[in-house]
Structure 1
Amino acid sequence: MKLLSIASTLVIAAAAAVIAADAPKSIYDVPVKDIEGADTSLKAYQGKVMLIVNVASKCGKTPQYAQLEQLNQEFQKDGLAVLGFPCNDFGGQEPGTNSEIKQFCSIKYHVTFPMFDKVKVKGAEKHPLYEVLTGPQSPFPGDVKWNFGKFLVSRDGKILKRFEPGVKPDAPEVVSAIKEALAAKGS
């Protein structure tokens, strides 16, 4: 009986090691696709403060695109990267193709910040990026509640803040957190 227990423990430990080996070492290692469908990662944003947002084109919160673009224009020179991840998980409010999403964002909101491939932010098919942002190892675990959930990530890849969808990008607490993260050059 004791031998069986030891064998079970070893199998579980080996399985955990395999899972840990497959897990991204940092947020920068998570594979993503850009809006054109090309494989990429967030490595290009290493050393920048990232505001990662799950976005949708047919949502009551869609006007937040304008505020996100405003933040991008105001703070990009200081090292902010606003990153949009389209998501159709909530009420089917992002039904378009990547091409349609890109066109909508460009024409309607003049978005210049990077947009990425449509992702799942909750459920069994949750994208690995959102597993990092919302999973049990995150400082802010728990599923994204709706479109336009925002995660502020430091220059060294640490998740600093989470802002729920109803908190607008230009809200004082968001702007203040961005300024603080940008000022922390060694963070």
Structure 2
Amino acid sequence: MPLLRRDVLGLIGGLAAGPALAVSPSLPEAPDAYRFAFDRLEGGRIPLEAYRGKPMLIVNTATNCGFAGQFASLEQLWQRYSHRGLMLLAVPSNDFGGQEPLEGMAIAEAARQVHGATYPFAAKSSVRGADSHPFYRWAAARRPAEMPTWNFHKYLVGRDGDLVGGYPAGTDPIGQDLIRAIGQQLQSA
């Protein structure tokens, strides 16, 4: 399968950002994802504790990314599995290629207008390096080989609040690998 230009750019960007991906020595010592909360675009907080016992898919997004079509695929996933308990959270980030120029509610509005996204959006956050959101530092400590290297990286958190896995930008949200992992979490008691 030939590499697409965006794939090559993503790989180069990820390699060039290598030193910036170093995990901060002051990692959160949280035993599970329920200890974290994200700011809402519209104000307030999104405490992950509110989703205890449910699988969560947390995706760093960017409206100007070549993978932005995944907003629509994530919507399909949301429509298919939210009623069964899946929580999906988009976390806009400008960390990769400066591809999230929008601020505040304009981010979610653009994703809704262009791609039909109706799932929740957190406020814009950093997802790599020492300034990254505490959830992302925790996830990087849990699975250092599965850290975000580009926009639309997906973290699946299991019903027990532990990190099930990280899925790179090129992973189709409605592809077999991710659907299988989500299905296993939805079926687990």
Residue 70 of structure 1 corresponds to 76
- Name which of 46, 50, 53 aligns with 1:47: 53
Deviations 1:9-60 (A, max 9, x none): xxxxxxxxxx78x744531111320111313421121111101100110000
CA distance in 2, matches of 1:148, 1:86: 9
Given that residues 133 and 141 in structure 1 are in contact (C-alpha distance below 8 angstroms), is that contact kept between their aligned partners in structure 2?
Answer: no
Aligned 8 A contact 2:158 2:185 in 1: yes
Kindly indicate whether the alpha-carbon contact (under 8 Å) linking 1:86 and 1:94 is maintained by their aligned counterparts in 2: yes
Matches within 5 A, 1:1-187: 23-135=29-141, 138-141=142-145, 143-185=147-189
Q: Distance in 2 between matches of 1:141 and 1:28?
A: 22
Residue identity in the other structure for 2:90: G
Aligned residues: 164
Taking structure 2 as the reference length, what is the TM-score of the superposition? Answer: 0.81
TM-score, length of structure 1 as denominator length: 0.82
Segments of structure 1 that go 5 or more residues without pairing to the other structure are 1-18
Shift of 1:156: 1.4
AA at the equivalent of 1:107 = Q
Relative contact order, higher structure (CA 8 A, sep 6+): 2
Secondary structure of 1:83's match?
strand
CA distance in 1, matches of 2:30, 2:174: 31
The amino acid that maps onto 1:173 is D
Q: Which runs of 4+ in 1 moved over 6 A?
A: none
Q: Partners of 1:177 and 1:105 in 2: how far apart?
A: 25
SS of equivalent residue, structure 1 residue 168: coil
CA distance in 1: counterparts of 2:34 and 2:160, whole angstroms: 9
CA distance 1:40–1:179, shift in 2 (3 Å):
closer
Where structure 2 has 5 or more consecutive residues not aligned to the other structure, the ranges are 1-25
| 8 A Cα contact 2:60 2:91, kept in partner | yes
Partners of 2:184 and 2:36 lie apart in 1 by 25
Whether contact under 8 Å (2:147, 2:166) holds in the other structure is: no
**Identity within the alignment, %:** 36
Q: Letter of the aligned partner of 2:160 in structure 1?
A: D
How far did residue 130 of structure 1 move? 0.3
Cα distance in 1 for partners of 2:55, 2:114 equals 26
